[in-house]
Amino acid sequence: VLAVKLNRLSLANPILVASGTFGYAKEMTAFVDFKKLGGIIPKTVTPQPRAGNPPPRTVETASGMLNSIGLDNDGFDQFMAEKLPYLADLGSSVIVNIAAKTNDEFRRMADVLNAAEGVAAVELNISCPNVSGGVDFGTNPELAASVVETVCSAGPLPVIAKLTPNVTSVIPIAQAVADAGADAVSLINTFQGMAIDWKKRKPILGNVLGGLSGPAIKPLALRIVWQVAQAVKIPIIGVGGIQCLNDVMEFLVAGATAVQVGTANFYNPGLSSELVSQLAEVVQQEGVSNISELVGTLRTDA
Ligand code: DOR
């Protein structure tokens, strides 16, 4: 009743945890029943280890969290050797999130992932607002299409493109990655913002700018999910400020086939697996045989 399909990617249910908010899962063991989740998306990995941005890297504002982590990670080889074997054993689908600066780098990681055991799909982070070049692929339809084509040609693994809201319209980018063969789009990465200590005349974040996440961006994410669902034929994974079951249902009726829980993992780490149980009840109450029957059912007529 909860199984969903996003082109080539089949998931046990539509509740995923968003990259960067769940570490590499180990740190969540005490709080989450991993087997219940539709999928786990670990922190972005890059070809080489990265130290990330100068501190402070996160700040709470009155309207959400700002982060400028800067893709801190131990690199792809270390991930494959030490993180993936553990993740692959948790009983959930593992969607590996990758970022790189060139098509060749994306291709090399995609080749290895296609040959590996225990990977359900690849999510392309072409939308990080916090590193130079982080959104180059994600703000230009031709570049976005080229990286999706490159990764698709590496093998049969399903490909998800995670897109940025920091553009005038997400629709041309979503259309380009759909045409290039992406199985789904994740909407949205964080919204670029800043926090200021005016008395010091200084930005609070070491990197000056950061990405805003949490409930503050939910209306923005819903708007983008709905607009893309109207305009482009591609399955959508909704992400942005999900804190409870009603939030999940709003994304689904707006047109998302699945969702990612992000910032809430930091303050309510048990939420994601609880949502799966609650979703099963909704299916019963709404009298549908599969949750996907509710996707895109929003009516905008009078
Ligand atoms: O907000 C974000 N922060 N989005 C990303 O894609 C990466 C992350 C970071 O590492 O800065």
pLDDT in tens, 107-166: 999 999 999 999 999 999 999 999 988 888 999 999 999 999 999 999 999 999 999 999
Q: For ligand 1, is residue 150 a contact (CB within 6 Å)?
A: no
Return the structure tokens found at 189: 């990465």
pLDDT in tens, 11-37: 999 999 999 999 999 999 999 999 999
pLDDT in tens, 41-75: 999 999 999 999 999 999 999 999 999 999 999 99
Q: Ligand 1 centroid vs 71 CA: distance in angstroms?
A: 6
The predicted complex's ipTM stands at: 0.98
**Residue whose tokens read 């920091």:** 166
pLDDT in tens, 178-189: 999 999 999 999
Beta bridge partners of 187: 163, 238
Q: Give the amino acid at 156.
A: P
Indicate the top mutation candidate among 41, 44, 53, 137 to test ligand 1's pocket, ranked by most ligand atoms within 8 A of CB.
44
Q: For ligand 1, is residue 207 a contact (CB within 6 Å)?
A: no
Q: Residue 109 in contact with residue 76, Cβ under 8 Å?
A: yes
Nearest to 189 by CA among 217, 209, 158: 217
Per-residue pLDDT, 298: 98
Q: Ligand 1 centroid vs 67 CA: distance in angstroms?
A: 7
Q: Where are the domains of the chain?
A: 4-48+72-191+213-294
The CATH code for residues 4-48+72-191+213-294 is 3.20.20.70
**Rounded mean pLDDT, 75-88:** 98
Q: For ligand 1, is residue 128 a contact (CB within 6 Å)?
A: yes
Per-residue pLDDT, 135: 84
Per-residue pLDDT, 133: 85
Per-residue pLDDT, 27: 93
Per-residue pLDDT, 265: 98
* Enzyme catalytic residues: 128
**Residue 198, number of CB atoms within 10 A of its CB:** 6
Q: For ligand 1, is residue 67 a contact (CB within 6 Å)?
A: yes
Per-residue pLDDT, 234: 98
The residue whose CA is least distant from atom 5 of ligand 1 is 128
Confidence of residue 177 (pLDDT cuts 50, 70, 90): very high
Confidence of residue 302 (pLDDT cuts 50, 70, 90): confident
| Stronger pLDDT, 18 or 302, i.e. the higher one | 18
Q: Ligand 1 centroid vs 211 CA: distance in angstroms?
A: 7
Q: Ligand 1 centroid vs 130 CA: distance in angstroms?
A: 6
pLDDT in tens, 247-284: 999 999 999 999 999 999 999 999 999 999 999 999 99
Q: For ligand 1, is residue 189 a contact (CB within 6 Å)?
A: yes
Per-residue pLDDT, 51: 97
pLDDT surpassing 90 at residue 285: yes
Integer angstrom CA distances of residue 157 from 25, 138, 143, 181, 282: 22, 20, 20, 11, 31
Per-residue pLDDT, 132: 87
